[in-house]
Structures are given as C-alpha cells and as structure tokens.
Amino acid sequence: MSLLFIQPKPIRQSQLLNRLVLERQTTEEIGHVDQLLLDYQAHRVVALRCKSGLLGAKKRYFAWGQVESIGTDSILVNTSKNHKTQQKTESWDSLIGHEVWTDAGNKIGKLVDYLLKPKSGSVVNYLFSDVGWHGVMDGMYILPPVAISSIGSKRVIVLDAVAQNSKKYEEGLNQKIGQATDLIKEDYQKTVQEFQAVKRKAQQMPEQFKDKAQSVTEQLKDKAKATTAQLKDKAQSVTEQLKDRANATSAHLKDKAKSVTKQLKDKT
C-alpha cells in the first residue's frame, strides 16, 4: 500500500530535502532529493529534482506523478511509468527564498517553506518568516496560496490585509527559549533546594561532631577527676602507713636506747 494514502496529512517540503530516492521496481538507489519544483501558477508541486554522483553533480528530474510513495526514510519513484524524462521549464520554480512584499509596498519577509499534499502535490499553505535574525526568532507564519497576487523571479506580492492577519505556524525560538528558560529556572530552583539541604546537613554534621567531642571531653574530665581522687586517697593511705611505720620505728628505737642505757649503768 502506498504511503501517499497512509500519510494523508500535509508535509513540509523541507522534510523531503536530501531524502533518499529509490526505484520502485529495482530498488536501486537513484540519489537524494535536491529540490521540489512548483508550478507556481497552479500552486502545485510538479516534479522533484534528484542529485547523485560526485558532489551531487548529476541532476535528474522526475514528475510528481512518478512518485509511488513517501516514507520517513525514502521516496519511491516508478521510472517505468509513461512519463518522459522531465526537464525544468520556465514556469517551474521552488519559490523558497523569494522576498514577500505586500500590495501596500511593504516588505514583510521571505518564503522559507510550504506545506503540500503528498498525493496531489498541491500546496496547502506557504510559510514565511520576517527578514533576518528577528524573523527567525519570531517563527514562521502561514500564507495561503490565494493571498499571492503575483510572482516574479525574486519576489512575490501578497494581499496586505491577509498578511496583517497571518497566523503563526509553529513556535519561534523566542517561545522555545522561553520554555527552555523556564525549565532551566525549575532545574536551578531544584538545584538550589538540594544545595540548601546538603548545606543544612553539612552544618548539622559539625554540631554532631562537636556534641560528640564535648561528650568525650566530659567523660575524660570525669575520669581524670576520679583518677586524681584515687591517687590522692592512695597517697594519703601510703602517707599514713609510712607515718605509722615511722612512729613504730621511733618507739622501737627509743625502747632500744633505754635498754642499752640501763645495761651500761648496771655495769658501772
């Protein structure tokens, strides 16, 4: 089944650029999509240009009717269909890069892309962006084909009333940057909260160590006091013992001296 019918939603031409092109019957690689060509009067893709060879120097054109299916990885073309080898004509152009001017004489931007129906190649909407970096920042805007009043080799002129009310096609970088900034802010706040939690924990740890050190110090202090008291008691006990012994020795010597004196008196 052809993906042209499976994928009915419009696709952007930029999504098809550089996509692999295969021959439907032989599965041989033909090249890669180089450009889609529009019949800008009918606002319809009429052909695709395929590049191959060294540096993509070889160009080959295929009518849009030869496209069998469009997949996410490749485009299948049927070269055996009754289509002569297509060559680019003056009425074909890509229009990408054309300046967009209003019928009021104001330059409003540049064509950067368009949406097309895969089966018919009809352009659903053109997409334009403001000129320069500011335009890229603000995204792309929708421009319906009916709003284009004339097309030249470098410019298209559109109805000013339609251009003034163009709807944004997709988010610009400003919005994406804003969303990214919000995500960064959320991540930053989360990081700050985690940091504060770690900081509080880090502050608590010294207190725990301080309390532990104080407890150990008090224990050592108590132990030192107890040891001092024990030593004092021991010293006092030893002193008393020595004092008692000294008193006993003194009494014994006194008695001994009296005995010797008496003996000497008796001899005389």
Domains of the chain: 3-77 (2.30.30.240), 94-172 (2.30.30.240)
Per-residue confidence (pLDDT) for residue 1, from 0 to 100: 41
What share of the chain has pLDDT > 90, as a percent? 43
Rounded to whole angstroms, the Cα distance separating 227 from 234 reads 10
- The token pair at 177 is 């940057």
Rounded to whole angstroms, the Cα distance separating 259 from 179 reads 118
pLDDT in tens, 240-267: 776 776 676 566 666 766 776 676 677 6
pLDDT in tens, 228-238: 677 677 667 76
Rounded to whole angstroms, the Cα distance separating 45 from 121 reads 5
* Strand 44-52 to 58-63 pairing: antiparallel
pLDDT in tens, 13-49: 999 999 999 999 998 999 999 999 999 889 999 999 9
Q: Can you list the alpha helix ranges (DSSP code H) found in the chain?
A: 3-6, 132-138, 160-164, 173-267
**Contact assessment for residue 145 and residue 139, using Cβ atoms and an 8 Å cutoff:** no
Query: What is the amino acid identity at position 57?
Result: A
Pick the closest to residue 22 from 82, 84, 88, 66 (CA basis).
66
